[in-house]
Structures are given as structure tokens and as C-alpha cells.
Structure 1
């Protein structure tokens, strides 16, 4: 599957959320929020079940009934092997249509999650004092980060422990180990577990009341920080505003006229594009750059994301609560974190050279380095099929398209992996000290595994990714708090819904497609199919991939900084509408100048984050 196709599947979540955000946030904001949230959890569970369906409705994995890919001596044997492989591929031709089932499963995930991230946030915010609200929302969003991160870790181990057809096939008999590039783990089990957990969580959440007992008293004690543009509007003056469908257009226009709210939406879109894309493709980037198994790459992402994303989200909420930051001060804090994030985007400068791949990145032995082709003199009499990609690693640490392209004529099964010997293409580079005899007459010259990368930059890359995630999510909680505070209380649920619509349209929906296309641009070897079309990408240019990702991440981070600056610059609190603020800076400066003679001069004034007149 191409990266653009996997990006399409990932985008199904955001398409589902986009279509249901407005009605759920608008009508759920004035009705029982726990009822909407519990219903959404059931929908998410059904989505997980749908996502696992392709395993049960399709045939077994093609390598569970594999065709041997060693060097063949006759053209007839080659034709027979190629025909067998193509007949299998034709029988599985409709498998590409399963991407729409995956898309629908993700669509249901997005629909089900919508009440949780809109109504769930406002339910917490309404039930807690202003100072505690950001802390509890930080805990809520931290768990929303830790959950997927644990899923990466657990799912990655599931891919490693169990073969996809473990019920009917013994992977040891096939010589398949989890380090083999053609290994596929039991991916579907995680989604079945997710479905069962949704059934367990649904019931207790549905029992919560529409409002917690002390919500009305807490609401009376809160002081509004909504943008002054909301003053004297129905959103503030009319208690019944938002109960009727007739109020929808007016409510929408009030929000659209709020400049701070709109620029915070654009910030969310640019940050969401980065985070959504990396959530989909970061394991793939790590796998390709450092030549790791898929399960190991997923495990690395999970280990880094739990303290990075989860810790950043929690700390962001804690800082707002600890220092009791007001709306303008919160946005200033976000601007500072945004500047640090721009610098940390340099993490994607870290790139490893490609693993030596015979005929692709490096020449075959005794072959001119200016001629790169997987067909060589050493395998010219093997009648190899380019349709059958089953890479092996020679003891010279060079990858080959298959054992056939390495010129290997004998195969042996040992230690849960296939080993090959009598490999003509390896002979010029082999010596007696490199060969590994396992029995009389059989010496290992190649293994059915990935070649290990000699690059030692993985720890540095993971540390930089940790910092990137930490500061990216350090913004998430404060920016959400600023969004809730810059709008009227009666519009909080609807405002979050509109914000998520903007984030989806401009950020998370196009993100997987854009990043997937950029990753595909770095492909240097496409899988060949029997109908002459290109399949999935088999090998990427690591340096080009890193450059493409760095360019778009840096650009989006700069956009986030610009949007945050304008959201602060245009903010006007309801209490200081007529006082000096960012928009009346010249008048304020003039007034202060007239009074300067009567005041002592202080060359080192103390910075107060909560002072809205203090500029960066």
C-alpha cells in the first residue's frame, strides 16, 4: 500500500469528526453531555470491530503459502513460479478495495471520538473552578495522549509476538521471523480488544447526570474572560441562547467575528497537521531511516510519546493552574513554546545513509558502480522474478531483492529463519572467516532478515523527537484553555466544535495525504505487480525523505508562531475594553509620557505575564 493510501485511511478519522462536529457540539452543548459521550464510545467500539473485519473476510497472507525465491536453473521453472505468483496476485487483486473498509472503520472512530473531545472538555470546564479547570483538562488530554502511546507499545509487541495467521500457520515452518521484511503480525487483535473495552466503559459514563451537583454555584463564581466583542450579544445576555436551531447562524457569526478565537483555530490547524502526520508516519520514518523492524519502530514511538506528549500536555495544564494565568498570558506562554518548537524541528536533519542494496544504492560485486540494476551477471542464469520481493541480507551486510537475485541456490531452515548458501553474487566478497557453517555441505551466506544499519544516530533522533513532542504538546493544553476563555460561557461547546472543524479541514484531513505524498516522492524502488502497475514502495531515499519532512514541519511551525502572535495582539478582555491594550499601544504610550515627570524611572521593570499591556 502506498503512503498516500495509508494516509487516506488515517484521514477517515478526521472526515468522520468533521461531518459530525457541528451538530454534536451545538445540540450536545445544551443537553446531556454524558449521554452523547457514552454513545460516542459505543460508535468507536463498532469502528474498531469494522477495522478488524478484513482479516476475517480475506484469505491468508500470501507468504503463509509462499513460493520459494531461490536461484532457478531452467526457464520452465521460472515461468511456472511466475505464473503461480501472478495467479495468486490476481486472486488477491480485490484486496486493495479493503482500504475502504479500513477507511469506514476510521470514519466511525472519528464520529465516536467527537463528543469526547468537545462535550467532554466543556463538561469538565463547567464542573470545576477556573483555576482547577486547566489542571483537570491537562490530566484528561494527557490520558488521551498516553492511551495511543500505550497502543503503540502494546500493538507493536503484538505485531512482534504473533504471526498474522498464527491460528492456522506455524511461522517457524515457513522460516519467517519478526525481523524479516515480509513478516506481518497479528494486527487485528488490538482492535478486537478495543471493541470489548468500549463495551465496558460505556455503561458507567452513561450514568453521569447532565450536571454535577455543584455546577450551578461554580458557574456563578466564574469571571468571564471572553473577548470584548461578545459584550452586549445574545451569547452573554440571553440565558436561553443556543437552545434553538434558529440561534445557530447568529451563534456562528459571533464566533467568526472573534479574532483571537479565529487565530487560535488556525494555530490548531497548523499544529494539528504536524501532529496528525507524525502520528501516522513517524513509525515508518524510524523504520526506514534506521533499518528497524516495524514492531520495534512502533515500540520506540510509544516509549518516546508517553513522557514527551503526555508529560508536555500535563505540564501545560499544570503551569496555567499553578500561576493562575489569564487568557493573554496563556497565549504569550504558547508563543514562547512555539519559538522553541521551531528550533527543535531541526530533529529531522538527523538522517542515516541507506543500507547497501545491491543494484539499487550500490553495485553488485565486480560490477561497475555507474551501472545500478538489480539484474546482474551473477544472477543472469537464475531466471529471477521481479514480482516477488523477498529481501535477504548477505554476510557482507548487503541487501538483495531476493535470494534469487543474490544467486543463492540452496536454502535451509534453522533458528526460525531461512538461511541461504551457494550465493554466486556474494562469492567475490566472501572469505572463509565470514562463512558460517551450520552442517556438513551447507554454509550460511545470506539470511532472510533486514541488514542492520551501521548508523548510530537513533538515540539522538529519539531524544530530539521527545523534545519536539514535549514542546508541541506543552502548547496544546494552554491553547485549549485560551479558546474556552476567549468565548462566552454559553458558546464553549459550540466553539470547540467549530475549532475542531477548522482543525480538520485545514490540518488533520489533508495532513496524511500531503505527508504521504512527500514520503512517496522519496521512493527509489516500487513494488512491481503482474498488471504492470506500481504497488507499495519498497525502498526510500533516506536523505530525501528527511529533507522533505523537515521542510514542511519547519514551515508549519513558523505559521503556528505567526497565528499565535496575532491571537495575542488582537485579544481584548471585557474588563479592559476601554483601557490601553495591544491595539491602543500608541495612545497608552502618549498618556504614560505625560505622567513621566511625576513618576520615578525604573529601567528594569518586572515582567508580569498577566499584564495584557506587556508586549513580547
Structure 2
């Protein structure tokens, strides 16, 4: 193409032996001439300002390293696969901490610090509160062409590590954990000094100060994790082909789901270790992990995760702002943005234009309804992730470590498998945006069908004075935990230490069971001569076999362990929960792909930020508060030590199950409705069939689009060229208005 011919030069027609292509750019001048510009070499970025005869060349290195330290051997890791590797670790750690460790220890910190479910709901929601505040500035500033996404990602991981250290801090600010079994006054001894004893038992462990620290830690977690699933996603998408993008993102999100599974499993194992294991021998206290008053080492996992964050942050900070070949990948992609006013909006580059950029996205109905569907799904995922372990503990009488282990085991194949399968199906079926949304509808309908698993419920275990009456007459005017059999014992509610009696009834403490003698001081504590316990006639007392002593056993009337219950629904519930999780996460990867495809490329980082703001504002922030409120409503017995209300000690299983079922059904119905509306209002660009497979088109760069030109022999000749701006041209030299 000669220099007298304006328009564009197809780079497919030019080349050199060294493998580099030169693209001829011309900027129109008033005198009818043109300025030839040549793109810079590797490692440089050229900004051509529309309407201004100026070019700013910024020398930005594409080498891996930190500051001036960029050794040659490190450059072998400058690939999309290695970037994905470290991003997967970062996503896994985030999931392990926020959706694993935090959720596993909810019930433990409730007992340790005397918190209600509403308070722990605030703690769980702190993560999303920080994300809500940080998403817009992080995605807008980090998504600019001049920003380094890996730098934002690395600094975010460092913040997460700081948050983990802060979350573990309350353990070191309180005195060692005390239980009633440590003291001889847990027996019935005709005492009348319960008020003085209560006064001496008041500790500084409970309340608001612990909540403040936990929320502050969660705020750091949320701020640090903000770039991971916004800038991290776009960094992957910008540096891999469109064909492989779904696979890479599927692997990334799969590891993000494996993270919570690791958190559940590892956190559950940590809860088997006594919280003060460094200074206290739990065997000397007479309690085991099966005891209701057991407090596990909830804080250890956060210390380990803080160290892992520092290890992962270093390689992330070493990656360049983009990987080699990113320019060619961008040029090979065809837009599937929703056809409408928003698709014709100009790019926004200044911070004061942020409201206009947000308004342009909100005019996209497909994007809007995908956001609302994400909010309803986020509400369910966030709420059940925080309180499903508590539900299993109370419904099926399993320990906190057992509940965490069960959830961890099903999360790996269900959550991780569902996420990966969703991304694979998009690639396997070569789905376009409309087809992807249909897949989301189908998966959500199937997940909604399995939410009826919450119909399964087990009977409340008999608790003396709460769910069943004492065997002896009640005393008029006395509290419900007091009867004639223990009225003279002077029992206090200062410390909850339940015992399982030989009659199958649970009592608030050995004192409330009327027990006057302790048979075994080591773990577990065994009691005898219990006035309130009446074993069934014709049955012998239960016997405890001493470890390491042949033919040595002790008959007892009460033991400080949880009563075993006959509930056949545990494994059926686990299977149905697996199905709900599988189909829920199967829709996450396609929903993300649909979100990225229904907006323009230059809107993607900001679009993900706006989407996550809506998901958090409408879904994940209120979810823990709503779930915690309803769970508190199902409480049958509160800890009222010395006149102050603390954690719930006993829940009504039927009410808890009904509340969870109602939330699940309403949430899934809203998700299906919003996904359907997103598909209904979607308009593919150019009037194409929304389900048609979009072929790849070779693109060339041009700077002008002729108003009255004609195409002949592969060249564009201009009669009276009018400058419109930079654009894309396909192999047929058909140009669009924007890059």
C-alpha cells in the first residue's frame, strides 16, 4: 500500500525475517498530509491521543522481577501458566481463610467469647463490607492501562496476611479458658453462696472488644482479597486466548473452591487440639473434644495462613503488567457485548468520570440481571457457608470438628468439581453468551430442587427443664432449671457444663443433676449419687472402661460428654447438600463468562467491580446478619451467666430447619428468575443469533474509517477521508468505530 493511500495497512501483508510486524499509522493533518508512526518494540507502550498530533511512548518492562532485580533465569516463569499457578494459590488461601477457617470457628468463638449468632454474623459480614467499599476504586484504578495488576494482587495478598494475624490476636489477649469442671463446686453441696461464686467467675472474655478486633481483621481480609477475583480474572483473560480463557478461569475458580474445603478440613483438625495446648493439659481438666464445653485451637490456622500469604505475595509482585503476546491476543478477540446504548459508550479514563462509566454499565439489562442473580446466589452461599456447620452440629449432634470435616470432604468434589465442569461445558459446547445464560438457568433449577434437604430434621435431645421436665416436681416461681431434686444445691448458671445422665437426659451441669460425688477426675468426668437422675427400671448403670487398665471399669450416673442420639438422616443430608453445592457452583463459572462477554473489553475490570459491589450490597453483606437473626430466633436456651446474655446453648431443631428451608427456596427462586430475565433481554451484537458459534476473525489495526470510500483489490481508496479515530478492521477490511 503506497503512502498516498490513506486508511489502514493490514499487518497480514507485511512482515520481516525477524518475526516482527510493522503497522503503518497515519494521523490526518489540516494540510492533507499524514504523519507516519511506527509502533515501538517489545517492552514499550504507545499511546496515540485522538485528535492530538502527539505520541507518548512509555518504556515499561515486560520482565519478571522486583525493582532493579530482574535476573535472566527468572524470565522463564513469565508465562500465563505460572501466573495462573500463583493466582490459584492466592485464591485457595483466600478461600481457606475467609470461607474455611472463619466459618469453622464461628461456633467456637461464640462459646469462647460469649457471642450471639447476630454478632458472629457481623464478623462474617466484615469481609464483604470491606470488599464493597474497595471494589470500585480498586477495579477502576487497577483496571487502567497504566496500572500493574500483579502489583495490586501482591499487595492485596499481603493485606490478607495482616488480617489473619489480627484475627488470631484475641486468643493472646485473654486469660486461659476455664470450665466448671476445673473446680469442686460443680457438685451439689448444699451451697447458698451462688451469687458470690458468680461474682468471682465473671471474666473479661466476653463481648464487644473481641467483636471489634474480629471485624477489623475481616475488613483487612476483604480489602486484600478485592483484586483477586476482579483484577486477577481480567489479568488471566487478557493474557490467554478466548478459547482457553474459560479453561484457565475454571482452574482458577476451582482452586478458589478447593480453598474453603482445605479450610474446613484443616480447621476441623485444629479444633481437636485444646485451645490452650501450649500451657494447659486438657486431660487434667477432664474434658475431651466430645464435651460440650470443649474449645479447640481455633487460632492456629490463622497464624499459618498469614505465613502462606507472605510466601505467595512475593512471586505475584514479580510479574509484569502484561505478559508477552498480550497485544496479539487482544487483537484476535471478537466482542460479544450486549447490543445497546452501553455498547457505544466511550471509554472512561479519569476518576471523575466513574459515575458515567457506572451508568453506562447499568444500561445493559443482561449485565444488570446477571448481577441480581449473583446477589441472590451470593446471599445463599455466604449465609450457609457461615452457619451450615452450626446447623449440622445441632441437627445431627456432631462435634464442631466432625461437622467441619464432613463439609470439607463434600466441598472438594462438589464445589471444585462443579466450578471446573461449568467452565469445561462452556468450552466443550462452544457456547455463546445466550447459551451460557441458559446453562446457568438449568443448573440453578436443579440446585433449587435439592434444597428440600433442609426438610430433614432430628428430634431435640431431651434437656431437663427445657425440652423435658425434671423427674421431680418443679418449684413454683423458680427458674426452669431448678426442681426439688436440686433446689438445695445452690447451682449457678455462671458456667455451662452439661452432663449426659443414665436416664438419657442432658442436664445443665452435674450440680443441676443433683450429683454429689465425682468418680473420675481425669477426662472424662464421671459422677454418682445424682438425685435428679432416675435410670429406667430393670436397666443397669452405664459403665466407663478405663484406658490401659484391664478389667477396670466404673459404673456412673452422669458423664460430661454429649448424649448420643439416634438420627438416621445425617448421611442423606450430606448427599443432598453435595448435590446442592455441585449445581450451585456449576453455574458460577458460566455466569462469570457471561458477565465478561456481555460488556465491552475496556469495561470488563470495572464491570466485575460493579458486579461484586451489587453482590455484596444485596447478597453477601446482609446474608450473615439475616441467617444469624433467624438462628437466634430458634434458640431455646441462652447463656445468662450472672445476668448477662451470651451465646445460645440449645436450639430448636425444627424451627432452625424451617428457617433455613425458607431462605434456600426464596433465594433459588430469585436466582432462576434473574438468570431467565438476563437471557430474555440479551441482544447479541449485529443481530446475530444468540446461540450461534462466533468464529474467530483476524483483525488488523487502522486509524481511519472512510466516509465515502470504496474497496477494490483489497485496498481502501478515499475520496474525501474523514477522521473518525482508531478502530478494528477484519480480514475483509470492514472497520468498526472503536478499538
The TM-score with structure 2 as length reference comes to 0.74
In the alignment, is the contact (CA less than 8 A) between 1:69 and 1:403 conserved in 2? no
Establish whether residue 405 from structure 1 lines up as the match of residue 512 from structure 2.
yes
Match of 1:445 among 540, 547, 557: 557
In the TM superposition, what is the alpha-carbon distance from 1:424 to its structure 2 partner? 1.5
| Residues 367 and 428 (structure 1), Cα distance of their counterparts in 2 relative to 1, 3 Å cut | farther
Match of 1:529 among 624, 641, 662: 641
Match of 1:139 among 248, 251, 256: 251
| Residues 386 and 65 (structure 1), Cα distance of their counterparts in 2 relative to 1, 3 Å cut | closer
Instruction: Give the Cα separation in 2 of the matches to 1:361 and 1:225.
Output: 60
**Residues 96-495 of structure 1: matches in 2 within 5 Å?**
96-160=208-272, 162-229=273-340, 233-235=344-346, 241-365=347-471, 373-413=480-520, 416-429=523-536, 431=538, 433-436=540-543, 443-495=555-607
Counterpart of 2:196 in structure 1 is 83
In the alignment, is the contact (CA less than 8 A) between 2:433 and 2:598 conserved in 1? yes
Counterpart of 1:596 in structure 2 is none
Instruction: Give the Cα separation in 2 of the matches to 1:66 and 1:483.
Output: 57
Q: Which runs of 5+ in 1 are unaligned?
A: 236-240, 582-616
Greater CA drift, 247-256 or 453-462: 247-256
Establish whether residue 60 from structure 1 lines up as the match of residue 181 from structure 2.
no
In the alignment, is the contact (CA less than 8 A) between 2:150 and 2:320 conserved in 1? yes
Instruction: Give the Cα separation in 2 of the matches to 1:245 and 1:437.
Output: 71
Runs of 4+ in 1 over 6 A off after TM superposition: 437-442
Establish whether residue 18 from structure 1 lines up as the match of residue 124 from structure 2.
no
| Residues 86 and 292 (structure 1), Cα distance of their counterparts in 2 relative to 1, 3 Å cut | farther
Greater CA drift, 254-263 or 295-304: 295-304
Tell me the alpha carbon deviations over residues 375-424 of structure 1, each in whole angstroms, 9 at most, x when there is no partner: 12222222211232110111232211111111111113366211111111
Counterpart of 1:47 in structure 2 is 163
In the alignment, is the contact (CA less than 8 A) between 2:188 and 2:510 conserved in 1? no
Instruction: Give the Cα separation in 1 of the matches to 2:456 and 2:206.
Output: 39
- If each structure's helix is expressed as a fraction of its own residues, which one has the higher value? 1
Instruction: Give the Cα separation in 2 of the matches to 1:272 and 1:249.
Output: 25
In the TM superposition, what is the alpha-carbon distance from 1:353 to its structure 2 partner? 0.6
| Residues 533 and 107 (structure 1), Cα distance of their counterparts in 2 relative to 1, 3 Å cut | same
Counterpart of 2:671 in structure 1 is 560
| Residues 128 and 69 (structure 1), Cα distance of their counterparts in 2 relative to 1, 3 Å cut | farther
| Residues 551 and 442 (structure 1), Cα distance of their counterparts in 2 relative to 1, 3 Å cut | same
In the alignment, is the contact (CA less than 8 A) between 2:342 and 2:361 conserved in 1? no
In the alignment, is the contact (CA less than 8 A) between 1:438 and 1:444 conserved in 2? no
> RMSD between aligned alpha carbons?
2.2
Instruction: Give the Cα separation in 1 of the matches to 2:324 and 2:561.
Output: 61
Tell me the alpha carbon deviations over residues 443-498 of structure 1, each in whole angstroms, 9 at most, x when there is no partner: 31111111112101100000000000111111111001000000000010000000
Instruction: Give the Cα separation in 2 of the matches to 1:321 and 1:93.
Output: 53
In the TM superposition, what is the alpha-carbon distance from 1:72 to its structure 2 partner? 2.7
Counterpart of 2:7 in structure 1 is none
Q: Count residues with an aligned counterpart.
A: 568
RCO higher in structure (CA 8 A, sep ≥6) = 1
In the alignment, is the contact (CA less than 8 A) between 1:524 and 1:541 conserved in 2? yes
| Residues 93 and 211 (structure 1), Cα distance of their counterparts in 2 relative to 1, 3 Å cut | closer
| Residues 64 and 111 (structure 1), Cα distance of their counterparts in 2 relative to 1, 3 Å cut | farther
| Residues 441 and 561 (structure 1), Cα distance of their counterparts in 2 relative to 1, 3 Å cut | closer
Instruction: Give the Cα separation in 2 of the matches to 1:138 and 1:49.
Output: 30
In the alignment, is the contact (CA less than 8 A) between 2:472 and 2:485 conserved in 1? no
| Residues 372 and 565 (structure 1), Cα distance of their counterparts in 2 relative to 1, 3 Å cut | farther
In the alignment, is the contact (CA less than 8 A) between 2:543 and 2:553 conserved in 1? no
In the TM superposition, what is the alpha-carbon distance from 1:92 to its structure 2 partner? 1.3
Q: Counterpart of 1:481 in 2: which secondary structure?
A: helix
In the alignment, is the contact (CA less than 8 A) between 2:345 and 2:360 conserved in 1? no
- Structure with larger Rg: 2
Q: Counterpart of 1:74 in 2: which secondary structure?
A: coil
In the TM superposition, what is the alpha-carbon distance from 1:347 to its structure 2 partner? 0.9
Counterpart of 1:601 in structure 2 is none
Instruction: Give the Cα separation in 1 of the matches to 2:437 and 2:446.
Output: 15
| Residues 221 and 428 (structure 1), Cα distance of their counterparts in 2 relative to 1, 3 Å cut | closer
In the alignment, is the contact (CA less than 8 A) between 2:343 and 2:599 conserved in 1? no
Instruction: Give the Cα separation in 1 of the matches to 2:293 and 2:343.
Output: 65
| Residues 59 and 580 (structure 1), Cα distance of their counterparts in 2 relative to 1, 3 Å cut | closer
In the TM superposition, what is the alpha-carbon distance from 1:431 to its structure 2 partner? 4.9
Q: Which runs of 5+ in 2 are unaligned?
A: 1-114, 547-551, 692-739
Q: Counterpart of 2:120 in 1: which secondary structure?
A: helix
